[in-house]
Structure 1
Amino acid sequence: MTVTAVHASMPPSTDVETAAGNGNGKPATAADAGAAFVLESKGTWWHAGFHMTTATVGPALLTLPYALRGLGWWLGVAALTALAAVTFYCYLLVSRVLDHCEAGGRRHIRFRELAADVLGSEWASYLVLIVQTAINAGVTIGSILLAADCLQIIYSHVEPHGHLKLYHFVIVVAVVLAILSQMPSLHSLRHINFGSLIVSVGYTVLVSVACICAGLSSNAPPKDYSLSSSKSARTFNAFLSISILASVFGNSILPEIQATLAPPASGKMAKALVLCYSVLSLTFYFPAMTGYWAFGNQVRSNLLKSLMPDTGPWLAPAWLLILAVVLVLLQLIAIALVYSQVAYEIIEAKSADAARGRFSRRNLAPRVALRTAYVAGCALVAAMLPFFGEVIAVVGAVGYIPLDVVIPVVMYNIALAPRGGGRRRSPAYLANAAIMVVFVGLGVIGAVASVRKLAINADRFKLFSNGLS
């Protein structure tokens, strides 16, 4: 979708009215239903903070001890801190560019529109759309798969000899998600996402306590924090870890989240980012450090799998681990709902009639059908590819790094450091250019390392299996 003439010519107040509607389910003069219905602009900064937290602080943080495994203690913690600082900075840049455009009379509510405006080319819009859609669909598929895995863990604990397979639980998750996906807008998820924030803190505390119990248990593996003896393996593992960290910090929908803010949106997103990263500082460091401390280089890519080994007793109280799994399951549903919003916005921009109410028969029937079809498609991929979680590091390298780090610094330098004068030689401009060069290199090398890991594990991948063989 291209940048419309409406966004280029209307003053901010008119553009906001266009996107938000009149409060009765009917847009005032909506340009398209995707903007009016899915990205309605009614939220406060703390609502945006809830959305940001759900989109950023997810169960992918359970891979953090595995990322530290590839880097070691000091380099791992340093990389974790550096990625936190860089991503916060880059998200703040995106928000400032959005504010800059809004001050100029162009309030953008979609990442692809912002990229096309600032970068000045239609290809930028299509490039961002392709990458963003791939990431969001991947996160939705991964969330369905991991949620099904959580259900299977609970089922196996209750019925050790049960006959249900992973794909059965994928169907259960898909049905629940299809029902909840009928909530009309990203703003309407604010209460669910507040619950998601509470849940994320809850299971983080539980998992951290479980890791301490495991580390003190006589059944825990020997604590070995040494890196691989092979120099090439150490290098590949280090870049794989950086790709994982990029995925964990990734958030590909910040402009769409900022679009939910009631106008004027200027300055509000910075508060939302502070809220999100305050939660992040608690939920990332505790499980990363306790998990790596407890299992060392024997930690698995999903920390829960280390706490609940396939053979032998669980390494923490069963009630504590099951409760943590239940909380992870709840947040995965919220994450899938949030990352589906861009797809729903694209669908409704094409299928819905903005001149009618969003609950009218004309718009309700296609919304139910198309959103359900989207969830069903994601669930089919999740059931067919139960090893989809192994692709997350590749997504981080080729998706999150360009969209969350490289494009923001480029857009900021173009929008707020124009040609001429000394601003192009300013410390901020040079720092942004350095970030771009470093992360382009990390993305390329990380992609190679991630694909290498997939190739090594390829013989374990079976379609419609009960997980990794």
Structure 2
Amino acid sequence: GSWVHCCYHLTTSIVAPPLLSLPYAFTFLGFWAGILCLVIGALVSFYSYNLISLVLEHHAQLGHRHLRFRDMANDILGPRWGRYYVGPIQFVVCYGAVVACTLLGGQCIKAIYVLSNPDGTMKLYEFITIFGCLMLILAQIPSFHALRHINMISLVLCLLYSACATANSIYIGYSSKGPKKDYTLTGNTESRIYGIFNAIAIIATTFGNGIIPEIQATLAPPVKGKMFKGLCVCYAVVIVTFFSMAISGYWAFGNQSEGLILSNFVVNGNPLVPKWFFLMTNIFTVLQLSAVGAVYLQPTNEVLENTFGDPKSKEFSPRNVIPRA
């Protein structure tokens, strides 16, 4: 693949719906401390991702191309660390991200359903199951490179729903429907300290796991400079989406910002913005969540396929489809 494909993969793995929680993180930090943490998070994560890319490039020039994080650990820390420490941690992180995407996707679908049919009787677990079935289909996509068109659409979707959520926040902030703005930090000293750690954890999680080795492995040689271009475009999207969402959401709702800013747009079942616009925001979010889940499925599927699959069988044989399912 090209550096453009790399940009699609990176953006999907980093710019995801958890950015809708950034205004909530600001409620524990305040405006300026929140901005500072976002800037530090962007600088540190960009530097780290670029450094990992350069290390991978260096080893590739020496004839040891690393395709996974555990391959790097095998060379740098030793085979035991790669097999029993780094590999399992990455598996748990990626699998946890897929589970989180499925839960959040179910919540967003339920929000669409409740707004469209207020008297409906369907429960949250049913919507989570529906989204899980979608992920089951996407799990059959065989490789990162095969995801390039989906991830291109994902890049557009993340710009769309962050723009919609920002517009919703600004609309409510200027209207009389919104809550009274209060930016004071609530709670006693102990709760504020815990809140600061909570906010830092939210911001760190929002920058995500770039899955750099697996994405760099999709690049066609020569690799030099391609990952840096992809990272630059990816972080341009990060700056536009993260900062606009965090600032507008916190400005509109202050310390009443919810864990997911979409929850602030509805009060007692009634949207504070035009109904069609709120539905559109949720639809964009659900669609991008499916792409994010598909990206984080790739490293976990690779582990499961190596353990349970059979490379001599056909791609869609039961022996190879069942582990992905």
1:239 to partner: Cα distance: 1.2
For 1:276, the equivalent position in structure 2 comes to 234
Contact preservation (8 Å) 2:4, 2:230: yes
Alignment of 1:230-249 (within 5 A): 230-249=188-207
CA distance in 2, matches of 1:151, 1:129: 33
CA distance in 1, matches of 2:199, 2:93: 19
For 1:332-367, what per-residue CA distance to the aligned partner results, in whole angstroms no more than 9, with x for missing partners? 00011000101111122233344x4xxx53763222
Contact preservation (8 Å) 2:3, 2:229: yes
For 1:91, the equivalent position in structure 2 comes to 49
- Choose the corresponding residue for 1:369, options 318, 322, 325: 322
For 1:29-71, what per-residue CA distance to the aligned partner results, in whole angstroms no more than 9, with x for missing partners? xxxxxxxxxxxxxx11111110110000000000000111110
Taking structure 1 as the reference length, the TM-score comes to 0.67
In structure 2, the CA distance between the partners of 1:217 and 1:313, relative to structure 1 (3 Å rule), is farther
For 1:439, the equivalent position in structure 2 comes to none
For 1:369-403, what per-residue CA distance to the aligned partner results, in whole angstroms no more than 9, with x for missing partners? 1111xxxxxxxxxxxxxxxxxxxxxxxxxxxxxxx
Indicate the larger mover: 196-205 or 268-277.
268-277
CA distance in 1, matches of 2:14, 2:157: 13
Give the AA of the match of 1:231.
T
Alignment of 1:207-246 (within 5 A): 207-246=165-204
For 1:446, the equivalent position in structure 2 comes to none
1:264 to partner: Cα distance: 2.8
Does 2:240 align with 1:287?
Answer: no
Alignment of 1:114-263 (within 5 A): 114-263=72-221
- Choose the corresponding residue for 1:335, options 292, 298, 323: 292
Contact preservation (8 Å) 2:73, 2:81: no
CA distance in 1, matches of 2:112, 2:264: 16
CA distance in 2, matches of 1:69, 1:284: 16
Indicate the larger mover: 79-88 or 252-261.
252-261
CA distance in 1, matches of 2:216, 2:84: 21
SS in 2 for 1:332: helix
For 2:303, the equivalent position in structure 1 comes to 346
Contact preservation (8 Å) 1:109, 1:255: yes
1:87 to partner: Cα distance: 0.3
Indicate the larger mover: 223-232 or 142-151.
223-232
In structure 2, the CA distance between the partners of 1:286 and 1:102, relative to structure 1 (3 Å rule), is same
Contact preservation (8 Å) 2:23, 2:257: yes
CA distance in 2, matches of 1:282, 1:123: 38
CA distance in 1, matches of 2:282, 2:159: 13
Give the AA of the match of 2:32.
W
For 1:246-287, what per-residue CA distance to the aligned partner results, in whole angstroms no more than 9, with x for missing partners? 000011511111111112323211111111101111111111
For 1:438, the equivalent position in structure 2 comes to none
CA distance in 1, matches of 2:210, 2:151: 17
Give the AA of the match of 2:57.
D
For 1:314, the equivalent position in structure 2 comes to 271
Indicate the larger mover: 120-129 or 82-91.
120-129
Contact preservation (8 Å) 1:132, 1:252: no
Contact preservation (8 Å) 2:310, 2:320: no
Aligned residues: 325
SS in 1 for 2:273: coil
For 1:413, the equivalent position in structure 2 comes to none
CA distance in 2, matches of 1:70, 1:63: 12
Identity %: 41
For 1:270-328, what per-residue CA distance to the aligned partner results, in whole angstroms no more than 9, with x for missing partners? 1111111011111111111000000000101100001123x263221111111000000
Give the AA of the match of 1:105.
G
1:152 to partner: Cα distance: 0.7
For 1:225-247, what per-residue CA distance to the aligned partner results, in whole angstroms no more than 9, with x for missing partners? 11125222211111110000000
SS in 1 for 2:270: coil
CA distance in 2, matches of 1:50, 1:364: 30
- Choose the corresponding residue for 2:280, options 305, 308, 323: 323
Contact preservation (8 Å) 2:101, 2:293: yes
For 1:388, the equivalent position in structure 2 comes to none
Contact preservation (8 Å) 1:135, 1:252: no
CA distance in 2, matches of 1:362, 1:176: 20
1:78 to partner: Cα distance: 0.7
CA distance in 2, matches of 1:101, 1:267: 15
Contact preservation (8 Å) 1:207, 1:287: yes
CA distance in 2, matches of 1:186, 1:121: 25
SS in 2 for 1:70: helix
Contact preservation (8 Å) 2:9, 2:215: yes
Question: Which is higher, the Rg of structure 1 or of structure 2?
Answer: 1
Contact preservation (8 Å) 1:220, 1:294: yes
**Which sections of structure 1, spanning at least 5 residues, go unmatched?**
1-42, 373-469
CA distance in 2, matches of 1:298, 1:262: 48
